């Protein structure tokens, strides 16, 4: 979509923004940089200089983005929270820089023992006359706080007096900028180790830390942004491999996936034929929303199998789709798939099955599992699958190499409840969602998409994609149905456009979240019902797909 070709270096910076690391991986990357000759102090100076400048732009300058500051006065008094390690060192360099820019700076440094470099910076700051306090009670009232207590070196629960100092600071309703991680969060799991800083902004240094992308961290992280300090790609590659295992889904990754532009010469069947199987007399709306999600994918042909009694309403909402009315059970679920003559399940490019089916449609799920084309299972499709045995056994292996029952891609899209029904023996998905989804994909042989505030996707080879932004506006009945349709439609187009279907799963989840964000910006977080969301999918795409000069 983008007509500008980035230079190799730009390309690497784009890749850097997609990488996600654990604390251990960051340590190894850092060690390589230092071993290659970069002085530790020089790197700290560079990083903290970037942080100080960013703080000024966001909070302190004349034209600071006012949304970052709720109080009418521009901040002048800045409190700097200093921990014992290099996170504290970064904070002290920021303190010195802001002091020289004319701000009133106050340091809170409660630790008796500091790392060498941190100790030197503290000594210099004090020599300049910057006041320094050991007790939180003595720290004067500030308009802005910079949190350099702990970064990726934090490994144990916080104790008093630090824990109670953090609790007091959190209650002051003063904006807090956290350096690297909000102090108190575990770098990998995002778990709160006793207590943690509730940041307004987190400036993550160099590479995204996994913990910042875990649901349980979000209320502490505030707005997160990456401070890119030019980590050489070779060092990232040396530690993580050519293709990092955990990646953030970004605009750049999605735009090389979405099937645009279309080839000039094409026809409807070349642009994918999706079969949706959804709905019941009780849940007609789910079928409509899934259909509207699929419509937004641009899929060439859309067929929708629903119980016969739903056919008129589906036709009225989706006149372009082929609505296949099926015989129904007494309860109004699909009793049997009645596809048009000369058509079987393998005539399509992809199937998405589940929204609104009810559990009475279990023979249908059994039947679609036997198809040999890509399949998305959601909602009741997952509940029925869970009743067949957990974890899915035999596995839903793609290619059948592990003796699984499927020869093509299977995508499971559970929310946390459905996930726990499907994978009851897995580590609590709330504790470490990324590990849980990775393990689920390995066990089931499927691509598993675990829904949430930060949706995570894994395949059975251990690759993980995380959708890094979303909005709680999507926490609303029906928004998952929209995702299922959108994803099915994109997967159906994957073959023609020679794009790995797994990338389409990540692209669908990202696009869905971005459409939600745009809709929430225009209509508030209360204004994003699932139907409205379907209208914002193409609106979002057209806004960001303006041709570049």
Ligand X SMILES: NC(=O)C1=CN([C@@H]2O[C@H](COP(=O)(O)OP(=O)(O)OC[C@H]3O[C@@H](n4cnc5c(N)ncnc54)[C@H](OP(=O)(O)O)[C@@H]3O)[C@@H](O)[C@H]2O)[C@@H](O)CC1
Can you give the binding site for ligand X, defined by CB under 6 A? 26, 30, 43-44, 47, 83-90, 115, 150-158, 179-180, 205-206
Instruction: Tell me which of ligand X, ligand ADP, K ion, none is bound by residue 472, counting a contact when its beta carbon lies within the kind-specific cut-off of 5 to 8 angstroms.
Output: ligand ADP
**Residue showing the smallest CB distance to ligand ADP in the complex:** 480
* Contact letters for ligand ADP, residues 370-399 (x by CB under 6 A): ---------x--------------------
Tell me: does residue 438 bind ligand ADP (CB under 6 A).
no
Instruction: Tell me which of ligand ADP, K ion, ligand X, none is bound by residue 480, counting a contact when its beta carbon lies within the kind-specific cut-off of 5 to 8 angstroms.
Output: ligand ADP
| Residue 45 CA: distances (Å) to CA of 16, 41, 86, 104 | 21, 6, 11, 21
Percentages of the chain per state (helix, strand, coil), in multiples of 5? 45, 15, 40
Instruction: Tell me which of ligand X, K ion, ligand ADP, none is bound by residue 107, counting a contact when its beta carbon lies within the kind-specific cut-off of 5 to 8 angstroms.
Output: none
**Is 88 known to sit in a ligand binding site?**
yes
Between 23 and 396, CB nearer to ligand X:
23
CA of residue 217 relative to chain centroid, distance: 12
Task: Report how far residue 102's alpha carbon sits from residue 104's, in angstroms, rounded to the nearest whole number.
Answer: 7
Q: Which residue has the tokens 């709160």?
A: 192
Q: Which among 67-75, 87-95, 327-335, 464-472 is the span making contact with ligand ADP, rule CB under 6 A?
A: 464-472
Find all residues with CB under 8 Å of 335, minimum gap 6, and list them: 307, 326, 327, 328, 329, 361, 363
Of the candidate residues 312, 427, 462, 472, the single one contacting ligand ADP (CB under 6 A): 472
**Is 215 known to sit in a ligand binding site?**
no
Between 25 and 470, CB nearer to ligand ADP:
470
The burial of 344, by beta-carbon neighbours within 10 Å (0-12 exposed, 13-18 middle, 19 or more buried), is given as: exposed
Of the candidate residues 480, 485, 488, 489, the single one contacting ligand ADP (CB under 6 A): 480
Query: Taking the complex as a whole, how short is the minimal distance between the CB of residue 178 and K ion, in angstroms?
Result: 5
Between 299 and 483, CB nearer to ligand ADP:
483
Tell me: does residue 532 bind ligand ADP (CB under 6 A).
no
SS3 assignment, position 334: strand
Task: Report how far residue 35's alpha carbon sits from residue 446's, in angstroms, rounded to the nearest whole number.
Answer: 41
Radius of gyration of the chain (CA): 26
Task: Report how far residue 533's alpha carbon sits from residue 432's, in angstroms, rounded to the nearest whole number.
Answer: 29
Q: Which two tokens stand for residue 355?
A: 């929204």
Query: Taking the complex as a whole, how short is the minimal distance between the CB of residue 203 and ligand X, in angstroms?
Result: 9
Tell me: does residue 481 bind ligand ADP (CB under 6 A).
yes
Element (H, E) at 104: strand 104-108
The burial of 306, by beta-carbon neighbours within 10 Å (0-12 exposed, 13-18 middle, 19 or more buried), is given as: buried
**Is 480 known to sit in a ligand binding site?**
yes
Q: Which residues pair with 466 in a beta bridge?
A: 248, 456
Tell me: does residue 460 bind ligand ADP (CB under 6 A).
no
Between 144 and 179, CB nearer to K ion:
179
**Is 455 known to sit in a ligand binding site?**
yes
**Is 478 known to sit in a ligand binding site?**
no
Tell me: does residue 471 bind ligand ADP (CB under 6 A).
yes
Instruction: Tell me which of ligand X, K ion, ligand ADP, none is bound by residue 26, counting a contact when its beta carbon lies within the kind-specific cut-off of 5 to 8 angstroms.
Output: ligand X
Q: Which two tokens stand for residue 22?
A: 């654990």
Report yes or no: 190 and 216 within 8 Å, Cβ to Cβ: yes
**Residue showing the smallest CB distance to K ion in the complex:** 183
Strands 223-227 and 273-277: unpaired
Tell me: does residue 421 bind ligand ADP (CB under 6 A).
no
Tell me: does residue 527 bind ligand ADP (CB under 6 A).
no
Report yes or no: 373 and 408 within 8 Å, Cβ to Cβ: yes
| Residue 62 CA: distances (Å) to CA of 1, 75, 145, 202 | 37, 11, 19, 22
Task: Report how far residue 484's alpha carbon sits from residue 491's, in angstroms, rounded to the nearest whole number.
Answer: 10
The annotation places the binding site for K(+) at 87, 147, 183
Query: Which chain residues interact with ligand ADP by CB under 6 A?
Result: 379, 415, 451-453, 455, 470-472, 474-475, 477-481, 483
The annotation places the binding site for (6S)-NADPHX at 86-90, 151-157, 180, 356, 415, 481
């Amino acid at each position: 979509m983008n007509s500008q070709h980035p230079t190799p270096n730009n390309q690497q910076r784009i890749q850097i923004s997609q990488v996600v690391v654990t604390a251990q991986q960051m340590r190894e990357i850092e060690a390589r940089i230092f071993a290659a000759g970069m002085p530790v102090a020089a790197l700290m100076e560079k990083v903290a200089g970037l942080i100080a400048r960013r703080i000024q732009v966001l909070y302190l300058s004349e034209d600071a983005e006012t949304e970052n500051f709720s109080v009418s006065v521009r901040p002048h008094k800045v409190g700097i929270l200093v921990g014992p390690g290099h996170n504290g060192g970064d904070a002290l360099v920021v303190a010195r820089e802001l002091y020289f820019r004319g701000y009133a700076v106050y340091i809170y440094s409660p630790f008796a023992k500091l790392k060498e470099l941190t100790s030197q910076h503290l000594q210099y700051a004090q020599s300049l006359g910057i006041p320094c306090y050991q007790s939180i009670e003595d720290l004067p009232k500030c308009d802005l706080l910079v949190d350099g207590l702990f970064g990726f070196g934090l490994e144990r629960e916080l104790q008093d007096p630090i824990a109670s100092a953090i609790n007091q600071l959190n209650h002051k309703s003063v904006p807090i900028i956290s350096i690297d991680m909000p102090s108190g969060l575990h770098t990998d799991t995002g778990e709160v180790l006793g207590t943690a800083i509730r940041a307004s902004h987190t400036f993550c240094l160099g590479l995204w830390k996994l913990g910042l992308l875990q649901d349980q961290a979000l209320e502490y992280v505030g707005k997160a942004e990456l401070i890119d300090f030019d980590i050489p790609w070779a060092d990232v590659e040396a530690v993580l491999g050519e293709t990092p295992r955990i990646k953030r889904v970004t605009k750049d990754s999605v735009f090389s996936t979405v099937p645009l532009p279309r080839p000039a010469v094409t026809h409807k069947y070349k642009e994918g034929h999706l079969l949706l199987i959804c709905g019941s007399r009780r849940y007609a709306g789910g079928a409509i929303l899934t259909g509207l999600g699929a419509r937004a994918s641009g899929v060439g042909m859309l067929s929708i199998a629903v119980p016969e009694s739903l056919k008129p309403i589906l036709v009225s909402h989706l006149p372009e789709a082929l609505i296949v009315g099926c015989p129904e059970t007494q309860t109004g679920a699909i009793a049997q798939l009645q596809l048009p003559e000369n058509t079987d399940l393998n005539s399509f490019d992809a199937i998405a099955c589940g929204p609104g089916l009810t559990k009475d449609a279990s023979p249908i799920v059994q039947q679609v599992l036997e198809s040999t084309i890509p399949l998305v299972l959601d909602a009741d499709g997952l509940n029925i699958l869970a009743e067949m045995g957990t974890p899915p056994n035999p596995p839903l292996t793609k290619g059948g190499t592990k003796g699984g029952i499927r020869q093509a891609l299977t995508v499971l899209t559970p929310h946390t409840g459905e996930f726990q029904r499907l994978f009851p023996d897995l580590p609590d998905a709330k504790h470490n969602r990324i590990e849980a989804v990775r393990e689920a994909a390995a066990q089931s042989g499927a691509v598993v998409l675990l829904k949430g505030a930060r949706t995570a996707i894994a395949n059975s080879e251990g690759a993980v994609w995380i959708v890094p932004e979303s909005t709680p506006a999507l926490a609303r009945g029906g928004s998952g149905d929209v995702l299922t349709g959108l994803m099915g439609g994109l997967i159906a187009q994957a073959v023609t456009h020679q794009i790995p279907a797994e990338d389409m799963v990540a692209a669908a989840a990202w696009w869905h979240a971005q459409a939600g964000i745009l809709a929430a910006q225009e209509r508030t977080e209360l204004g994003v019902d699932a139907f409205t969301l379907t209208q914002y999918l193409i609106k979002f795409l057209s806004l960001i797909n303006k041709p570049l000069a």
